[in-house]
Structure 1
Amino acid sequence: MGKERKISDWIIATRPWSFPASTMPALVTISYVYFLKNEIASDINWFYGVLAFIGACIFQASGNLIGDYFDFKYGVDRKESFGSSRMLVDRIFSPKTILNYGIVMLAIGILLGLFLFVRTGTDLLWIGGIGVLATFFYYKLKFAAFGDLVIFIVYGPLIGLGTAFVMTNQLMWNVVLLNIPIAFLVVNILHANNMRDIRDDGKAHIRTQAMVLGMERAKVQYLILAVGAYVGVILMVVFGMVHPLTLIVFLSLPVELKNLKQMKKAEVENPEFIKNLDANSAQLVLIFSFLFAVANFFAAGL
């Protein structure tokens, strides 16, 4: 690998632009626990909530690194493709280094999870176990067109459930519903990536959900998930689960409309038309979720 590595290379290798996918479900859950603090019949450990936020980020970094290793190994990421951090295709790191980096991050995440398990309860074992398995074996599920489903389950409901549990030592199932709108938008990060890469993924002989659907139906899925996120918040307000103030998430709508406009340009043979749609979709997750969390924090005092 003849190139000198900088600190920034180690950071870029984790694909930090994608971290809203893991951190925002945790943040929104923390804000919701704060909103319900007077109704929760147990002490709330805010510090453990912060650790859950950090842990979610660590697990995603690990998943990104391990995924990049296997994508490179199986020819999904190549010089001419758009995906990944490009740390491997540009030969800044060796594949072994990236894999070991991912495993070390996974080990750190597991140790943090075990600490929280000892301090909380056994339910964290199955929540964390699903997270660990999804992190390491995600590439296999993605190659078999199950990536969207895994992302929906983990990067929303599961992270929310785990965060609420370590804070309250209770399984707060309403947090699963709370995080569904965010999960919809997080899935669109992956889906945008897979729409862009339909041509190149076909050359690597893998199957993503975007490939199974075909470009036109893949666009429909992106639209349904985008609209579903906002409809989900409306329904939660209607049924009294969240405060009407959470409707400020609609301030993010111009960003979503911009993404939808870009999405409509997608063509199998011209992936460059949506080369940044995954990053733009991650930006929407950040803005939407931040507004959602701010609304929960402020609503607690109303």
Structure 2
Amino acid sequence: MSGNGKLKNWIIVAHPWAFPASVSPALIAISYVFYLYKQGEITHLNWIYGILALFGAVIFHMAGNLLGDYHDYMSGVDTKEKTGPRRLIVEGIFKPKTVLYYGYTVLFIGILLGTYLLLNTGFPLLFIGIVGIIGSLFYYKFKYVAMGDLVIFICYGLSIALGVAYVMTGEVLWKILLVSTPVGLLVVAILHANNTRDMLQDKDAGIHTQAMKMGLEGSQIAYQTLLLVAYLLIAIMVMIQMLDSWVFLVLLSFPLAIKNLKLMKRATMDDLGIIRFLDTHTAQLVLIFSLLMVAGNLIASLT
């Protein structure tokens, strides 16, 4: 039986360590919409739709992980030589087709949930949902031609927050795009750390990621820029009063960001294994940064 009959393997194969990338922008959107509501800028909130949209974001993310794993294995991108999180297809615990069908099933569930929200909200959600479907189905194609970073930023940095805010309020809140950009940049940093670590194997597989195009030094600079600009944008939004000063709580996560930056800087082409878990560490940063930002929004709303 695929998964060796163990439930934990069915969970592990979906890469749950990466779920902060989808949970975080959804939570930030929910907390910021609540902040606007308490400020009197919004008159109505639908909490149920917001929670459903959060689950929908995770479901689409999960589908994308599963489908991506299948295509990476079939394309020779994932091999036993790769370091980092476990790849259960490579280990022989799952048959490739099982993961493919698993991914399609999860995606179908996400589409059903999205259709329910669409029928109960409005037409703009259709376009946001299409972005999610394209991202889940075809992300691997974009990744192979050095467009993965852009697609991830659009899907996770912008679309999730915009969709969650829309179903909660019935309004297209464009300002949420700027508010969610810092966490979007950090999510891109997860991918960038992954692709930097895998540069040599990806080259052997014949694909082209943004990290490969930049080279190691360029990738290190890009990773540093993604992290530092995220914090800079928070400062700018507080200064222009788009965010409350309580959101400066995110600075408590800065030591972890510095730790990750130092680790990335130590990587060399002869020792990329030193950053084998940097994508996981960056996902942890995303979660902590986001929870602190959510806490700042909630405290500002209640004081």
The normalised TM-score by structure 2 is 0.97
- 4+ residue runs over 3 A deviation: none
- Counterpart for residue 32 of structure 1: 32
Determine whether 1:280 maps to 2:273. no
Deviations 1:53-89 (A, max 9, x none): 1111011000000000000000000011125641100
Query: Which region of structure 1 is more displaced relative to structure 2, 230-239 or 83-92?
Result: 83-92
Shift of 1:270: 2.0
CA distance in 2, matches of 1:161, 1:3: 36
CA distance in 2, matches of 1:89, 1:101: 16
Deviations 1:174-224 (A, max 9, x none): 000000000110000000000000000000000000000000011000001
Cα distance change of structure 1 residues 64 and 87 upon mapping to structure 2, 3 Å threshold: same
CA distance in 2, matches of 1:233, 1:141: 29
Query: Aligned partner of 2:295: which letter?
Result: V
Deviations 1:87-109 (A, max 9, x none): 10000000000000000010000
Shift of 1:140: 0.2
CA RMSD of aligned residues (A): 1.2
Deviations 1:219-261 (A, max 9, x none): 0000011100100100000011010010010000111011011
- Counterpart for residue 148 of structure 1: 149
Q: In the alignment, is the contact (CA less than 8 A) between 1:23 and 1:53 conserved in 2?
A: yes
Cα distance change of structure 1 residues 2 and 227 upon mapping to structure 2, 3 Å threshold: closer
- Counterpart for residue 266 of structure 2: 265
Q: In the alignment, is the contact (CA less than 8 A) between 1:195 and 1:266 conserved in 2?
A: no
Cα distance change of structure 1 residues 83 and 275 upon mapping to structure 2, 3 Å threshold: closer
Shift of 1:4: 2.0
Query: Aligned partner of 1:5: which letter?
Result: G
Identity of aligned residues (%): 48
Question: Counterparts in 2 of 1:48-127, with a 5 A limit?
Answer: 48-82=49-83, 85-127=86-128
Query: Aligned partner of 1:35: which letter?
Result: Y
Q: In the alignment, is the contact (CA less than 8 A) between 1:184 and 1:226 conserved in 2?
A: yes
Cα distance change of structure 1 residues 36 and 6 upon mapping to structure 2, 3 Å threshold: same
Shift of 1:2: 7.9
CA distance in 1, matches of 2:296, 2:168: 20
CA distance in 2, matches of 1:216, 1:86: 27
Determine whether 1:14 maps to 2:14. yes
The gaps in structure 2 that reach 5 residues or longer are none
Q: In the alignment, is the contact (CA less than 8 A) between 1:77 and 1:84 conserved in 2?
A: no
Query: Aligned partner of 2:131: which letter?
Result: I
Query: Which region of structure 1 is more displaced relative to structure 2, 33-42 or 234-243?
Result: 33-42
CA distance in 1, matches of 2:186, 2:151: 14
Query: Which region of structure 1 is more displaced relative to structure 2, 278-287 or 1-10?
Result: 1-10
Q: In the alignment, is the contact (CA less than 8 A) between 2:85 and 2:277 conserved in 1?
A: no
Structure ranking higher in helix proportion? 2
Q: How many pairs align?
A: 302
Query: Aligned partner of 2:110: which letter?
Result: G
Query: Aligned partner of 2:44: which letter?
Result: D
Determine whether 1:23 maps to 2:23. yes
CA distance in 1, matches of 2:226, 2:294: 20
The normalised TM-score by structure 1 is 0.98
